[in-house]
Amino acid sequence: MTPPEIAPLYADVTFHGPLSEERAARLIRSLLPLDDAHVVDLGCGWAEFLLRTLEAAPTATGTGVDRNAVDIAHAQANAAARGLTDRVSLVVTDVAEWQPDRPADAVIVNGATQVWGGDPLQHTVNALTEAKKLLKPGGRFLLGEGFWQREPTEAQLAAMPIPRDQYGSLADLVDLAHAHGYRLLAAEQASLDEWDVFENGHGIAWERWLRANPDSEHAAEIRAKADRQRGWRLHGWRETMGLAYLTLQAP
């Protein structure tokens, strides 16, 4: 049987990642000015960050790409409600298969470096390489990427699906960006509160479904998924894995 559809994450959180309203506004400002610019958001989810960027830059256009059709449909509805339909294109496809129709003045990859697939140890490098191909010279790249806030223990590594070598420190991440020709304009990281709000959004969706469907043949499967996510979070990455937000300038 096909697994049941769980309420989408946007029902319980604002952004597709651990991100507060205040930080989102600050990150958008770090991309400005975007007069007559084109902004690309890869792995955009329901594109809330992209839509807010376009609201902050009234002459800019944007493209959001994600393979989740439910999220993109929600983004399209929000774009229509905000009068942004003429300025944004929202595409359902794999990022690795997407072909741009113009160079970008700004690229956003927020917690989505996995969208190019392949070896997890190469996800960050893939994002830095592919974003540069899309950007005009001197364009800006907003990268939201993981790093080890503190060294994970063996028990934590055993409790989460992330290899130790997938991430380094925040300094390692910035050094890697510089090795690929970028210059750092700003760096910050998600707070514990931002992480908790985002992770709680996942948990609430699972638990809401379980309460509404206690006798479903899928209940055991959904409960197992919820328990697995909770274990990854509480026994694995909480307070150990961070998420950095880097505003980078391309060469």
Q: Of 138, 122, 164, whose CA–CA distance to 130 is shortest?
A: 122
What distance in Å separates the CA atoms of residue 216 and residue 109, rounded to the nearest whole number? 37
Sheet containing 135-148: give its strands across: 88-92, 61-66, 38-42, 104-110, 135-148, 241-249, 183-189
Mean pLDDT, the chain cut into blocks of 10 residues (251 residues total) = 74 95 98 98 98 98 96 97 98 96 97 95 97 97 98 97 97 98 98 97 92 94 94 97 98 94
Structure tokens at 182: 């970028």
pTM beyond 0.75? yes
Nearest alpha-carbon partner for 110 in 6, 36, 15: 15
Q: H or E element: which one contains 114?
A: none
**Tell me: the pLDDT tens digits for 100-148?**
999 999 999 999 999 999 999 999 999 999 999 999 999 999 999 999 9
Q: d(Cα 18, Cα 24) in Å, to the nearest integer? A: 10
CA atoms of 233 and 109, how far apart (whole Å): 22
